[in-house]
């Protein structure tokens, strides 16, 4: 929708509008609670799981999902089963048939039944191929540990970008001329689940860059300044990275202006 806005036409007003639009766009939808079911099984509570899966139960207390309970389950006791489904059959059979329980690594649908906004994004024209089975929620989210925004076993004090690095080394490596935007994180420019813009970009035009690189106007609108350089003509040639200008948005080995 931001496509209609032409920065060079409306200057400062446009910037205000941009922040207004992006402000609206980031509103987070609440998950609905639709825990997975298993025919013939009932909820037994986390304490039963702890008997055989002590290590997981120990760290789970500080996980985002330990905070809510499945309707109808004993208070504070159904955290594990909110993702894995009611565990009575599995707990009774123990070693014999571990399959009578859901594993969301193989079945992302068990997460998506509650997180429907993520499901919607994963079906947008550009998306991480999670539904196609090429990567999993757990490549980026630790379902049991204290920080669900990092993959399990990853370096805990690392920046969020570290979770993208194993698969996208080209972008996440160190550069001689770094783009400071990278410190804010990959998600400043990319939606990790999906986007209508190509390359999972959160915005498809110059507004992606202008949200941080505030423009200063002097004289006529075509004199728009970015980084003290007149850009009025340049931004009309296309987006900042496709117009043959800042092709190295992630960082450059040779050019401080990220052109090559």
The residues in 94-133 that bind ligand HEC, with binding defined as CB under 6 A, are 94-95, 98-99, 101, 103-105, 108, 110-112, 114-115, 118, 128-130
CA distances from 44 to 13, 59, 116, 207 (A): 58, 19, 26, 51
Residue of closest CB approach to ligand HEC = 87
Distance from first CA to last CA of the chain, Å, rounded? 30
Taking the alpha carbons of 32, 30, 117, 84 in that order, is the dihedral positive or negative?
negative
CB count, 10 Å around CB of 240?
A: 22
Question: Whose Cβ is closer to ligand HEC: residue 10's or residue 131's?
Answer: 131
Q: How is residue 40 written in tokens?
A: 């013939």
Cβ of residue 204: shortest distance to ligand HEC, in angstroms? 9
Cβ of residue 253: shortest distance to ligand HEC, in angstroms? 14
* Residue 232 interacting with ligand HEC (CB under 6 A): no
Cβ of residue 54: shortest distance to ligand HEC, in angstroms? 9
* Residue 179 interacting with ligand HEC (CB under 6 A): yes
Interacting positions 189-218 with ligand HEC (CB under 6 A): 189-190, 192-193, 199-201, 208-209, 211-213
Cβ of residue 152: shortest distance to ligand HEC, in angstroms? 6
Parallel, antiparallel, or unpaired: how do β-strands 229-230 and 225-226 relate?
antiparallel
**Which of 138, 34, 39 is closest to 90 using CA atoms?**
39
Question: Whose Cβ is closer to ligand HEC: residue 84's or residue 215's?
Answer: 84
Distance between CA atoms of residues 137 and 131, nearest Å: 10
Interacting positions 19-78 with ligand HEC (CB under 6 A): 28, 31, 33, 35, 44, 46, 48-49, 51-53, 56-57, 60, 64-65, 68
Phi, psi (rounded to 5 degrees) for 227: 55, 40
Cβ of residue 69: shortest distance to ligand HEC, in angstroms? 10
Question: Whose Cβ is closer to ligand HEC: residue 10's or residue 91's?
Answer: 91
* Residue 5 interacting with ligand HEC (CB under 6 A): no
Question: Of 18, 145, 194, 241, which one interacts with ligand HEC (CB under 6 A)?
Answer: 241
CA distances from 51 to 44, 64, 93, 173, 208 (A): 12, 22, 13, 43, 50
Question: Whose Cβ is closer to ligand HEC: residue 34's or residue 220's?
Answer: 34
Parallel, antiparallel, or unpaired: how do β-strands 126-127 and 177-178 relate?
unpaired
Distance between CA atoms of residues 70 and 63, nearest Å: 15
Question: Whose Cβ is closer to ligand HEC: residue 91's or residue 220's?
Answer: 91
């Amino acid at each position: 929708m931001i496509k209609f806005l032409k920065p060079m036409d409306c200057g400062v007003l446009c910037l205000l509008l941009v922040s207004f639009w992006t402000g609206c766009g980031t509103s987070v939808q609440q998950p609905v609670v639709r825990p997975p079911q298993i025919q013939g099984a009932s909820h037994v509570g986390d304490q039963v799981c702890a008997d055989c899966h002590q290590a997981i139960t120990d760290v789970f207390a500080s996980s985002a999902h330990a905070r809510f309970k499945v309707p109808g389950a004993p208070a504070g006791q159904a955290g594990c089963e909110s993702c894995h489904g009611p565990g009575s059959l599995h707990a009774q059979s123990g070693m014999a048939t571990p399959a009578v329980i859901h594993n969301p690594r193989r079945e992302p649908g068990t997460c998506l039944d509650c997180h429907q906004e993520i499901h919607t994004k994963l079906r947008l024209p550009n998306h991480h191929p999670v539904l196609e089975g090429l990567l999993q929620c757990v490549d980026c989210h630790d379902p049991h540990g204290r920080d669900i925004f990092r993959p399990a076993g990853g370096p805990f004090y690392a920046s969020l970008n570290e979770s993208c690095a194993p698969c996208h080394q080209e972008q996440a490596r160190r550069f001689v001329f770094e783009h400071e935007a990278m410190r804010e994180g990959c998600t400043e420019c990319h939606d990790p689940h999906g986007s209508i813009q190509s390359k999972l970009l959160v915005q498809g035009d110059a507004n992606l860059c202008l949200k941080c690189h505030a423009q200063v106007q002097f004289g006529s609108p075509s004199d728009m300044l970015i980084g003290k350089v007149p850009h009025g003509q340049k931004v009309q040639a296309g987006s900042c990275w496709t117009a043959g200008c800042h092709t190295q948005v992630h960082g450059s080995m040779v050019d401080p202006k990220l052109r090559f």
